[in-house]
Structure 1
Amino acid sequence: MSTGIKLDLERIFSILELINNPQKRLSIIHIAGTNGKGSTSAYIDSILLKSGYKTGRFNSPHLLEPRDSIRINGLPISKENFLKTNEFITNINSINNLGSTSFEILTAISLYLFDKEQVDVSIIEVGMGGRLDATNVFDNVLSSIITSIGMDHTDFLGDNIISIAKEKAGIMKTNGNVIIAPQIEKAALDTLKKCAEEIGCAKIILVDGAKWEKEESRLVSTKLLDNMDIKINIPLSGDIQLENSATAIIAIDLLRKTEKKFANITNEHIIDGIKSTKWPGRLQSIDASKLSNILGMSISSNLLIDGAHNPQAVKALRTFIDKKHENKLIKTHWIFAATKGKNISEIFEILLKDDDSLTAVGFSKVEGMPWISCYDPKEIIKVAKNVKENINVSVAENLREALNHAYTKCNKEGGLVVLCGSLYFIADLFRFLQINVYD
């Protein structure tokens, strides 16, 4: 098994052929994009579960361990099931000398198990890009969904928004349905529409998004395909969820209007499904009392955590903080770690204010992804100082030290503590705080 990233479909098709092509028997909702894929898939999954359907969902990267990227009926597959299936497929890969990557193996495991479990619908999130991603193995799909597109993975997908959009559009199918979420970049939207028309998609649906009805209670209103309003309570934080929830709702509305199998989905199922959605690590607040108990120090303010790791996502994080504090320049104590290769200079241009402090730290090795490594905290500090010369900076040896340092400053100077930069870093926090994300 190869560990690195190789954008090529030959190996995944070879291994799927050897396990009897499970992808040909599955009903698929396929989701590509830069940001919002995970929460959009979680909304769709939750609605379908509330409607009484059996679901499979494949997200990447995993949060705590590889098995949690594969879910059946909303729950990660068991360790036993994962290890057994992983051994089976890894052996097939090895015996036939296919050289499949670990992501291709994981994709094959998910499709094999969804087929074996005879799920009603499989919700599949693209790993990277779309056109050459290991998940792009389906002849037909119920719908292709493209969430918000921004600059990320430029080494593989191209160094401009048009090239990236074309790669994402690679999951669209001739005579298939495509749902395009609101796009920040006009060039991305124009490219996606053009690709959909050239490919010959049957339906091309542009999502308008949603609007706040009562933001304090997180009540929003969005329109269904017949232009009727539906009001829902969004449990996930951030204005980006106006787009993600609306995209999920349109996907479900199209599904029930075009597929007899899903015709019994009601508006009540949609409302209940959205309200019940969980997607940890994104604009999530960690209770101060839990931190106090583990760190052994007095902490009065909650910890805000977010897996934002590209410019578009950190803009959403910065907007959330500013909006929550009514655009007052509240002092923010950042705890930051990042994957090598990310443009942390551009990230800091968005995040950092003059009065902020920054504690840099690394994150643990990522199981199943040995090619992933974190920035040296000293390099993070160097980049941050280049962006904001007067910012107070420090390096921590580990997560406990980073939290202690940030909260010591917060207790003394006031403000807000935010931990961000990578989902791999968020995973370290969950393990450190012993937070169960599998409920």
Structure 2
Amino acid sequence: MSMFKLTLDKIYDLLGHADNPHLRLSAIHIAGTNGKGSTSAYIDFVLQKANLKTGRLNTPHLCEPRDSIRINGVPITKEDYQKTYDAIKVINSEHNIEASLYELLVATAYRWFDAQRVDVAVVEVGVGGRLDATNVFDSPLLSIITSIGWDHEDLLGNSIEAISREKAGIMKPGCKVVVSPQVEEAALVTLKNCAAEFGCSRLICVAPAERDSQKVDRASLKLLDGTPIEFHVPLLGDHQLSNAATAVTAIDLLRKTEARFFHITDDHIKDGMASTRWPGRLQYVDVSSVVNGGVTEKRLLVDAAHNPQGAKSLRDFVDKLLQDKDVPKVHWIYAATKGKDVQRCLGLLLRDGDTMIANTFSKVEDMSWVNCCETKDIVTRVNELNREVNVTAAENLVDALRQAYDRCGKEGGIVVLSGSIYFVADLFRLLGLDV
């Protein structure tokens, strides 16, 4: 069983004593298992191109808690974060609310968005939806449900239907809902039933965008009125065709139904989509500052594939890359969070001939409940797959990178770092990369 008991009582208490900042926010609220973050980023960048001031909340953070909270794509400054967070902590203490660190973060974000008078708050759900601390909007601009799969079963339920109902908890009576393409048919059926049950005013079920056969980084879809739009998809992976389509459809629905968005043009959509960044997900980074000698190319593919659906998407992407390689093998650098379905993820990632270097990640700031799997446990789980995979453990991330590129130089193939967003964060800190 989980150590958490999900409830909205404390977040409402906290926000109430903070003058209810959420009541003054126009929110786009996004739940789902995979694709929440990139969908929120696409929407955020498009709205910015349309000269709207945006706030965005994404959890978990990548490198430090404040990078969860952004205005016009830029993380809140350390000073503003600490000042706002401390004010929320005082409220929590004075009124004996005993809010969790996550609830304190959400309240900090909403208070900052309100203080900055953002035009739109783009808010990603942390876990589930119905009882997630972000779920305090009675009438959001849009509720968006991205792809649903297996994750957090201890909190959300042991069936796709149960998980889907929890995600659908962000749907509100009289409000519009956009649903991404679903891998699980049971998820789509459940979401449709929930939208009808909750009295949502409109439900849009999105079809994936279609990739241009001549230009793989371009895609197209039909807008709600049937007219086509073509746009650049800067984020890698076929699953981005669904996330991008969801974002474009959401913006199109807003500009056709809400007066304050009437000014958004196709060019705003195209420019915003083309400029979107979402660090740590199917991203190439240069590790030459750490890895000396060995192979000439020091590009590392990084992806925080922390659940089975993410692992499958990553493996599908890697398989396409390997079609052009003389040696179709992957040298994995891997660390995982305790409580995740690591065995299933490894089964989806690994092929005969691959190698894996098990690693750990550092303690996560303000998330004391997050712990990493021990390397010996990862090695054991790989061996239990009974595949021809050379698996070892590394003392630290630098050691793992050097081992992997040494193998790559001798055996060919590619190097991929994956398993946990917190492991990716360690890499970003090591390389001094911006988030």
The answer to whether the superposition gives a TM-score over 0.5 is: yes
Q: Contact 1:67 / 1:79 at 8 angstroms: preserved in 2?
A: yes
SS of 1:295 mapped into structure 2:
coil
Q: Contact 2:58 / 2:123 at 8 angstroms: preserved in 1?
A: yes
Aligned to 1:356: 354
1:319 equivalent to 2:316? Answer yes
Q: Which amino acid aligns with 1:418?
A: V
Q: Which amino acid aligns with 1:325?
A: L
Q: Contact 1:41 / 1:248 at 8 angstroms: preserved in 2?
A: yes
Q: Any idea what the Cα deviations from partners look like across 1:75-103, whole Å, max 9, x if unmatched?
A: 00000000111111011101111110000
How far apart are residue 325 of structure 1 and its match?
A: 2.5
SS of 1:294 mapped into structure 2:
coil
1:15-34 aligned at under 5 Å gives the runs 15-34=14-33
1:365-380 aligned at under 5 Å gives the runs 365-380=363-378
Q: Which amino acid aligns with 2:310?
A: A
How far apart are residue 33 of structure 1 and its match?
A: 0.1
SS of 1:330 mapped into structure 2:
coil
1:341 pairs with 327, 339, 358, which one? 339
Aligned to 2:306: 309
Q: Contact 1:352 / 1:388 at 8 angstroms: preserved in 2?
A: no
Query: 2: CA distance between counterparts of 1:137 and 1:395?
Result: 44
Aligned to 2:201: 202
- Structure 2's unaligned 5+ residue stretches are none
Query: 1: CA distance between counterparts of 2:88 and 2:201?
Result: 36
Distance 1:308-1:215 versus aligned 2 partners, 3 A rule: farther
Q: Contact 1:353 / 1:388 at 8 angstroms: preserved in 2?
A: no
RMSD, matched Cα:
1.3
Q: Any idea what the Cα deviations from partners look like across 1:346-389, whole Å, max 9, x if unmatched?
A: 01111101100010000000001000000000100000010134
- Structure 1's unaligned 5+ residue stretches are none
Q: Which amino acid aligns with 2:264?
A: I
Query: 2: CA distance between counterparts of 1:201 and 1:231?
Result: 30
How far apart are residue 159 of structure 1 and its match?
A: 1.2
Query: 1: CA distance between counterparts of 2:32 and 2:131?
Result: 14
TM-score by length of 2: 0.97
SS of 1:98 mapped into structure 2:
coil
Q: Contact 2:290 / 2:398 at 8 angstroms: preserved in 1?
A: no
1:398 equivalent to 2:396? Answer yes
How far apart are residue 310 of structure 1 and its match?
A: 0.4
Query: 1: CA distance between counterparts of 2:234 and 2:357?
Result: 30
1:412 equivalent to 2:410? Answer yes
Query: 2: CA distance between counterparts of 1:125 and 1:327?
Result: 36
How far apart are residue 61 of structure 1 and its match?
A: 0.3
Q: How many residues align?
A: 432
Aligned to 1:293: 289
Q: Tell me which moved more, 327-336 or 225-234.
A: 327-336
Q: Contact 2:330 / 2:416 at 8 angstroms: preserved in 1?
A: yes
Runs of 4+ residues deviating >3 angstroms: 214-217
Aligned to 2:56: 57
Q: Contact 1:283 / 1:304 at 8 angstroms: preserved in 2?
A: yes
Aligned to 1:435: 433
TM-score by length of 1: 0.96
SS of 2:357 mapped into structure 1:
strand
